[in-house]
């Protein structure tokens, strides 16, 4: 049995218990044993001097693309796990739109076995809603859940058939798992390449109206109300969608939502002169949408910050804008971009941490996300004062596609502990295989 670990005199921020102050945190046998206001003396403990650091529950990312199986040139479960722990994430939910779609227990088991081999962070697979993500027939939800999937989603694509979506929600009530949705009416988004607005008009790029997202949010909230189930809206991006979710929550519907750091940081002008690094789906929206997301993060309408970590190779981006593949890597910049909201006075430190920890844990019913006694010993240490410039060349992810290269951020992960084991420290991955 390994020695207890004592984080001494750090600023502990644990949203679930509403703690924000200097505390000692003791980990024992892979669990949180105690949080103490008074200094603890634990014979034989490995002491981590956390003075000047924030001691936080390990971050949970509900939305990452690890690309394995099928596109290992962009990312693997191992490299994605490295990227995750370097960003302070101790758990990630892996999307099923791999090149062999995760619509069967076989693929779920493969993902889990590769994650065990990587042995860095918790990887929770998400299963597909429909076979092959084709939007035609339901995948075997029961089998996927038994094999270890924590939610189902056709992420990357909407379920265009309202009737099929209705049945997915109805059927999901058997398992009490969230149905995660990519909200996009494809007849409205069409061949659009960026959000509708003055920038799209100036650049002559086919526009995607906000309504492409909003009408699907509206549809799915209607279906949710009728069927029951749990709806989780992925990468919410528009003012109108936020308003619908806020109202639905007030009426008691079981709906949760996540926002990405790129959507709450950048607006459509980031496309600049056809920068494909700013091409994503949903597209970067207008300034008023960014403001609406920030407000919704602060008031609890949005439950979680998720990265939609989407690794791509250089050839996917060094092309004509409309041909550019959507997506941005996000695991290693998420904390800094979230803390920017704290520096801007949008979020309190407690709220910011909640959106990375307790919020996502509750949305999906995952273990962790807090530092209460008995919680998994997943801990992230942050130096809140250090300023650093994003350097994509130094990412642990296999891919470099980010619109934030060169951006100055304040606050950085210094250590990541998973199940009581140090997996990342001062820029180094601590692998044990």
Partner 1 sequence: MRHLLGIEGWRREEIETLLDRAEAHLPRGSANASVLQGKVVANLFFEDSTRTRTSFEMAAKMLGAQVLNWTAAGSSVSKGETLLDTVRNIEATGPVALVIRHRSSGAPHLVAKHVRCAVINAGDGTHEHPSQALLDAFTLRKHWGKLDGRTVLIVGDILHSRVARSNILCLTALGARVVACGPPTLLPVGLKELGAEVTTNLDAALPQADAVMCLRLQLERQSESFFPSTREFSRLFGLNVARSEKMKSGALVMHPGPINRGVELAPAVADGARSVILEQVANGVAVRRAILEVCS
Q: How far is the CB of 318 from partner 1 (least distance, A)?
A: 6
> Has 277 been labeled as part of a binding site?
no
Q: How far is the CB of 200 from partner 1 (least distance, A)?
A: 7
Q: Which of 68, 75, 184, 196 binds partner 1 (CB under 8 A)?
A: 196
Query: In terms of DSSP H, where are the helices of 173-286?
Result: 186-189, 198-203, 211-227, 239-250, 261-265
Which stretch, 85-93, 168-176, 201-209, 394-402, contacts partner 1 (CB under 8 A)? 201-209
Closer CB to partner 1, 143 or 185, in the complex: 185
> Has 263 been labeled as part of a binding site?
no
Closer CB to partner 1, 44 or 204, in the complex: 204
Structure tokens at 395: 């990412």
Print the binding letters for residues 296-325 with partner 1: x by CB under 8 A, - otherwise.
-------------------x--xxxxxx--
Q: Which of 95, 179, 205, 255 binds partner 1 (CB under 8 A)?
A: 205
Tell me which residue has tokens 């790029």: 205
Burial class of residue 90, CB neighbours in 10 A (0-12, 13-18, 19+):
buried
Q: How far is the CB of 313 from partner 1 (least distance, A)?
A: 13
How far is residue 41's CA from residue 159's CA, in Å, rounded to a whole number?
55
Closer CB to partner 1, 320 or 344, in the complex: 320
Q: Give the chain's end-to-end CA distance (angstroms, integer).
A: 18
> Has 176 been labeled as part of a binding site?
no
Closer CB to partner 1, 199 or 380, in the complex: 199
Q: Count the residues of the shown chain that bind partner 1, applying the rule CB under 8 A.
A: 21
Residues 254-273, interacting with partner 1 (CB under 8 A): 273
How far is residue 267's CA from residue 274's CA, in Å, rounded to a whole number?
14
Residues 143-172, interacting with partner 1 (CB under 8 A): none
| Strand ordering across the sheet containing 122-127 | 59-64, 89-94, 122-127, 151-153, 178-181, 230-233, 255-259, 304-305
| In 287-420, beta strands by DSSP E | 304-305, 379-389, 408-418
Q: Which of 4, 15, 192, 197 binds partner 1 (CB under 8 A)?
A: 197
> Has 65 been labeled as part of a binding site?
yes
Residue 308 annotated in active site:
yes
Q: How far is the CB of 215 from partner 1 (least distance, A)?
A: 18
How far is residue 264's CA from residue 341's CA, in Å, rounded to a whole number?
9
Q: How far is the CB of 36 from partner 1 (least distance, A)?
A: 57
Closer CB to partner 1, 86 or 205, in the complex: 205
- 3-class DSSP state of 319: coil
> Has 343 been labeled as part of a binding site?
no
424 binds partner 1 per the rule CB under 8 A:
no
203 binds partner 1 per the rule CB under 8 A:
yes
Q: Which of 106, 174, 206, 408 binds partner 1 (CB under 8 A)?
A: 206
Cβ atoms 180, 257 nearer than 8 A: no
Q: Which of 408, 415, 414 is nearest to 387 (CA)?
A: 408
Which of 103, 267, 268, 308 is catalytic? The answer is 308
199 binds partner 1 per the rule CB under 8 A:
yes
> Has 309 been labeled as part of a binding site?
no
- 3-class DSSP state of 164: helix
Q: How far is the CB of 409 from partner 1 (least distance, A)?
A: 26
Closer CB to partner 1, 322 or 431, in the complex: 322
H/E segment holding residue 290: helix 287-299
Closer CB to partner 1, 21 or 204, in the complex: 204
367-403 burial, b at 16+ Cβ within 10 Å, e below that, comes to ebbbbeeebbbbbbbbbbeeeeebebeebbbbbbbbb
Cβ atoms 54, 382 nearer than 8 A: yes
How far is residue 7's CA from residue 27's CA, in Å, rounded to a whole number?
8
Q: How far is the CB of 392 from partner 1 (least distance, A)?
A: 17
Residues that bind partner 1 (CB under 8 A): 196-207, 273-274, 315, 318-323
Which residues have a catalytic role annotated?
Answer: 308
* Residues in the annotated binding site for Zn(2+): 63, 65, 155, 182, 235, 308
């Amino acid at each position: 049995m390994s020695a207890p670990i004592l984080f001494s005199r750090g600023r502990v921020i644990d949203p679930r218990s509403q703690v924000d102050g200097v505390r000692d945190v003791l980990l024992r046998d892979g669990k949180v044993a105690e949080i103490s206001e008074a200094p603890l003396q634990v014979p034989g403990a490995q002491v981590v001097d956390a003075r000047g650091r924030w001691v936080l529950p390990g971050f949970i990312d509900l939305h990452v693309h690890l690309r394995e199986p099928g596109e290992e040139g962009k990312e693997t479960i191992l490299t994605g796990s490295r990227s995750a722990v370097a960003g302070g994430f101790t758990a990630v939910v892996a999307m099923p739109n791999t090149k062999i779609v995760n619509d069967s227990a076989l693929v779920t088991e493969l993902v889990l076995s590769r994650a065990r081999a990587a042995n860095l962070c918790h990887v929770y697979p998400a299963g597909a809603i429909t076979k092959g993500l084709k939007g035609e027939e339901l995948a075997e939800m029961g089998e996927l859940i038994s094999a270890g999937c924590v939610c189902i989603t056709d992420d990357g694509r909407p379920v265009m058939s309202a009737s099929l979506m209705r049945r997915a929600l109805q059927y999901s009530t058997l398992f009490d798992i969230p149905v995660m949705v990519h909200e996009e009416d494809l007849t409205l988004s069409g061949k659009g390449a960026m959000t509708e607005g003055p920038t799209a008009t100036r650049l002559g790029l086919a526009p995607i109206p906000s309504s492409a997202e909003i009408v699907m949010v509206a549809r799915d909230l209607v279906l949710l109300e009728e069927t029951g189930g749990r709806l989780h809206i992925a990468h919410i991006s528009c003012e109108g969608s936020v308003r619908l979710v806020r109202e639905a929550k007030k009426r008691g519907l079981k709906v949760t939502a996540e926002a990405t750091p790129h959507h709450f940081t950048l607006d459509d002008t980031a496309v600049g002169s056809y920068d494909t690094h700013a091409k994503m789906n949903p597209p970067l929206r207008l300034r008023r949408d960014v403001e609406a997301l920030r407000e919704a993060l602060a008031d609890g309408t949005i439950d979680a910050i998720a990265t939609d970590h989407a690794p791509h190779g250089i050839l996917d981006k060094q092309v004509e804008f409309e041909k550019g593949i959507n997506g941005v890597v996000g695991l290693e910049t998420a904390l800094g971009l979230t803390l920017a909201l704290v520096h801007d006075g949008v979020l309190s430190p407690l709220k910011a941490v909640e959106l990375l920890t307790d919020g996502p844990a509750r949305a999906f019913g995952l273990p962790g996300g807090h530092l209460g006694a008995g919680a998994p010993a997943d801990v992230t240490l942050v130096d809140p004062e250090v300023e650093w410039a994003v350097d994509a060349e130094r990412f642990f992810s296999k891919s470099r596609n980010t619109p934030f290269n060169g951006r100055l951020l304040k606050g950085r992960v210094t250590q990541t502990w998973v199940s009581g084991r140090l997996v990342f420290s001062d820029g180094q991955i601590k692998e044990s295989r």
